[in-house]
Amino acid sequence: MDVADLLTSAGINISVCVVAFSLYSVLRKQPSNACVYFTRRYISEPIGHDDPFSLHRFVPSAGWIMQAWRATDEEILEAGGIDAVVFMRIVVLSIRIFIIAAVICVFLVLPVNYYGKEMEHKNFRFESIDVFTIGNVEEGSKWLWAHCLALYIITCAVCVLLYLEYKSITKMRLAHITGSHPNPSHFTVLVRGIPWSQDHSYSKSVESFFSTYYPDTYVDHQMIYRPSTVHKLKKDAKKMYRILRPVETEYVRGDKPCYLCGGTAHTFKLLQNGEDNIRSQTSIDELHPTQIEKECPAAFVFFKNRYAAVVAAQVLQSSNPMLWVTQLAPEPHDVYWSNLGIPYKQVWVRKIVVLLIALAFVFVFLFPVTLVQGLTQPHVLTRWFPQIKEVLKLKFLNQLVTGYLPSVILILFLYTVPPIMMLLSRIEGNVSRSDRKRSACIKVLYFTIWNVFFVNVLSGSFINQMSIFSQIKELPMMLAKQVPTQATFFTTYVLSSGWASLAFELIQLFALICNILRRFILRNKKEPTNIALTFPHHTEIPRLLLFGLLGFTLSILAPIILPFLLVYFFLAFLVYRNQILHVYVTKYESAGQFWPIVHNATIFSLVIAVAVLAMKKSPMASGCTIPLIIISLLFNEYCRKRFSQVFKRNPAQVLIEMDRRDEQWGKEEGIYNRLRSEYCQLAYISRDLTISKDISVAGPNRQSSTDHNSPQGADENSLKQESDSKE
């Protein structure tokens, strides 16, 4: 591919972006699309309708860009919580890193690559992309010192920026723990693997065990029931709601009983005797025998203070590690109820099965990747499909087929990956939505790095040299040789998967089509419900990290990719800020748990970039770059020891200080009263009995913003009305 082909691909993607951005600026002004482009505000307060004949509604504008640019970190925090701030920090960090890389590589490395060999250069438009890569430098050339120097500068800059970000995000996480309202999850332990007893129920076993071994700190517990029981109760509640809807009930927002967990033998019962009856509880052993049989060997156990809960969660409870397994409970909004009933002994089997399925999926995906690589090479394409030989003689079609089409095909195949990985993460048995999404994020990251980077590089060699995989020792050297030759494909991939994906993220094409069908085809005038979406970390973080890997690896080998990467990250900064402020709803908070994944992946990308250059046949390249690998790994180990533990466990010092503060302010009783209702498996039924449809938009334990971009005063607890499968 020459520069003209690359510019053709860039022109196509620029046109797509301009059209999409202009179309978005018009669509967002239409009142009928408020549920698509202003979801956060739409679900909490009515949005006024403008004059339908107003001209400005049909004229493209850049007002949304200025709003996204001017938004502060405090507004992002209010809208999306710490996870949203961390995500935007990833984008900003990438911009800073690749600005440094672009300045160094464009002015130092690119001229060395261009003039690396004695040759007669063509007109710039018709130059091959290969002349801008390290492949144009002679093996063992003394000019490789420029690449080593650039790599040292980039590595040092990345380590400094990563350290500062890790330190800042760690402080932000600790501030969230200490500064938020009392979190029920800090007082609650999830216990699984409860042993079966013929003498009494699971509930009695839990009460007996924790009353015996934690007599001073144990408060209460709440059993978990099979999903079939929950669905039956929900159906009965909906029937009663239809019957009682004209009658004003006595329920108000606040602590409400759990009809399954609270202590009634009936599927549904309307309590009318005030707070005393609402808070009254009956032993679970007094329930009907069929109800007891539907208990799961899992329960939420409540403690008097945070420190006691942490100790109980981290201590081995039994001589048999498969029994009485404890961990800190997820936040109430974060609980993934469908997986709580999975027997703990099945979890490790599920993880093995999921791993085997994921490996099989990776293997199957080799075939479309090999097909895509064949499309990038015209001689291979004509060998596979001789009938298109004449078509490829047309220059524009040749540029389109070999330069643009392969990236588009690969992107279409990759769109199937996140839903499959999310399903596998669900099968694994994760007990919280954030854990499920984080697990899916890791799977998608591994999958994309392997299939988009390594397999594309090696499959290009595989097509030309079928025996390469029989020579395992040659794979590292082949990787070093093939990465520069794939610079064209990776650059067009950044254009298609990066620029175009941001345009479609902004448009929200699927939600827009559904809204159009509902309003104008089906003529459904009923206001849509259950439209709130959480931010898709499991798809967007792997994409950012994949582009980071491409940037680190090719910044030295093929610096021509850097300007396109920078454009992508600048567009991502605007698009994602806009989406966080207006579209995505925060249902739960993981307090920055995605950051360690980002840090480790960035270090991995650095090591790969250094290793690829070290494998060049040059004593200078090998001798100067190997110390960089050691330095990078030592830096990663230091950060793991210094910061990562804070993301795995809450510090006892912080928790004890919070307990003392609550004791001084007399908050213990109010916290105890909240625990049982917060972890009620049927808590959303009481909200189904009311007409309110508020949904929290400010995240747990946080007030919503009062600016014109954010909805006003939504009830955070109403988030639980979302189904477990809705993300």
Domain ranges of the chain: 3-183+344-650, 185-243+292-330+651-694
Rounded Cα distance, 297 and 206, in Å: 9
Beta sheet of 188-192, edge-to-edge order: 218-225, 295-303, 188-192, 325-328
Q: 3-state class of 188 per DSSP? A: strand
Which of these ranges, 328-337, 573-582, 718-727, has the smallest mean pLDDT?
718-727
Residue 261 has pLDDT above 60, yes or no: no
CA atoms within 13 A on the CB side of 22: 9
- pLDDT recorded at residue 364: 83
Distances (CA, A) of 441 to 13, 510, 552, 701, 708: 27, 22, 21, 25, 33
CA 466, CA 455: separation in Å to the nearest integer?
A: 14
Q: Which residues contact 131 (CB under 8 A, 6 or more apart)?
A: 113, 114, 119, 121
Summary mean pLDDT of the chain: 77
719 has a pLDDT exceeding 50:
no
User: What distances in angstroms separate CA 273 from CA 270, 281, 337, 506, one per listed residue?
Assistant: 10, 14, 30, 51
**Concatenated DSSP letters for 684-713?**
HHHHHTS------SS-TT-PPP-STTS--S
pLDDT score at 281: 42
pLDDT in tens, 290-331: 455 578 899 999 998 899 999 999 999 999 999 999 999 998
β-partners of residue 335 are 432
pLDDT band, very low/low/confident/very high, at 438 (cuts 50, 70, 90): very high
Least confident of 121-125, 283-287, 322-326: 283-287
- pLDDT of 720 strictly over 80: no
pLDDT digit string (tens) for 386-398?
656 665 566 656 6
> How much is the pLDDT for 96?
95
Higher pLDDT, 263 or 410: 410
Write phi, then psi, for 271 (nearest 5 degrees).
Answer: -90, 135
Lowest mean pLDDT among 150-154, 372-376, 380-384, 460-464: 460-464
| DSSP symbol at 432 | B
Structure tokens at 475: 């794979």
Asked if the model's pLDDT at residue 251 lies above 50, the reply is no
The rounded distance, in Å, linking the Cα atoms of 490 and 577 is 26
Structural contact between residues 43 and 527, judged by C-beta atoms closer than 8 angstroms: no
Highest mean pLDDT among 11-25, 399-413, 536-550, 697-711: 536-550
Residue 399: band (very low, low, confident or very high) from pLDDT cuts 50, 70, 90: low
Q: Which two tokens stand for residue 170?
A: 């760690």
β 188-192/295-303 pair status: antiparallel
Mean local confidence (pLDDT), 619-641:
84
Q: What is the dihedral sign for C-alpha 7, 9, 13, 18?
A: positive
Query: Among 227-236, 241-250, 260-269, 307-316, which stretch is predicted with the lowest mean pLDDT?
Result: 260-269
∠ at Cα 591 (589, 593), nearest 5°?
Answer: 110
Q: For residue 265, what is the DSSP state? A: S
> Closest Cα to residue 482, out of 466, 463, 458?
458
C-alpha 150/C-alpha 143 separation (Å) is 12
pLDDT for residue 526 is more than 80: no
The pLDDT value recorded for residue 351 is 92
| Four-point Cα dihedral 496, 15, 102, 543, nearest 10 | -30
State pLDDT tens for residues 58-84.
888 888 999 999 998 889 998 888 999
Dihedral in degrees, nearest 10, Cα atoms 142, 147, 149, 150: 160
User: Residue 465: is its pLDDT beyond 70?
Assistant: no
576-to-68, 81, 237, 297, 568 alpha-carbon distances in Å: 9, 14, 39, 42, 12
- Return the number of other C-beta atoms located less than 10 Å from residue 520's C-beta: 10
Interacting residues of 99 by C-beta distance below 8 A, sequence separation 6+: 566
CA distances from 366 to 334, 374, 680 (A): 35, 12, 46
- According to the per-residue pLDDT averaged within each range, which of 110-124, 686-700, 704-718 is highest? 110-124
Q: State residue 231's pLDDT score.
A: 59
The amino acid that residue 10 corresponds to is A
Instruction: DSSP for 273-320, please give it.
Output: S-HHHHH----GGGS-HHHHHTEEEEEEEEESSHHHHHHHHHS--SSS
% of residues, the chain, pLDDT over 90: 27
Predicted confidence at residue 87, as pLDDT, reads 95
Question: CB within 8 A of 614, min separation 6: which ones?
Answer: 621, 622, 625, 626, 629
The token duo for 669 is 């009783």
- According to the per-residue pLDDT averaged within each range, which of 11-20, 78-87, 105-114, 523-532 is highest? 78-87
Closest among 70, 171, 24 to 654, alpha carbons compared = 171
Residue with the bigger pLDDT between 156 and 282: it is 156
pLDDT of 487 reads 80
Q: How confident is the model at residue 354 (pLDDT cuts 50, 70, 90)?
A: very high
Q: What is the mean pLDDT of residues 698-714?
A: 36
Mean pLDDT of the 531-545 span: 89
Taking residues 220-230, report their average pLDDT: 78
Which of the residue ranges 187-201, 475-489, 659-673 would you say has the lowest mean pLDDT? Answer: 475-489
Is the pLDDT higher at 282 or at 675? 675
Confidence at 568, pLDDT banded by 50, 70, 90:
very high
Average of pLDDT values for 167-173? 93
Percent of the chain, pLDDT > 70?
Answer: 71
Between 665 and 1, residue with greater pLDDT:
665
Q: How far lies 144's CA from each of 104, 108, 111, 139, 638, in Å?
A: 14, 11, 12, 9, 30
Structure tokens at 320: 């048999």
pLDDT at 259 over 60: no
User: What pLDDT, on the 0 to 100 scale, is given for residue 474?
Assistant: 59
The pLDDT value recorded for residue 396 is 58
Tokens of 665: 């302010």
Strand partners, 327: 190
pLDDT of residue 301: 93
More confident site: 123 or 461? 123
Residue 173 has phi, psi (to 5 degrees) of: -65, -45
Distance between CA atoms of residues 553 and 604, nearest Å: 11
Distances (CA, A) of 719 to 182, 340, 627, 643, 725: 18, 19, 51, 31, 13
Q: Please report which confidence band the pLDDT of residue 510 belongs to, taking 50, 70 and 90 as the band edges.
A: confident
Asked if the model's pLDDT at residue 240 lies above 80, the reply is no
CATH no. for 185-243+292-330+651-694:
3.30.70.330
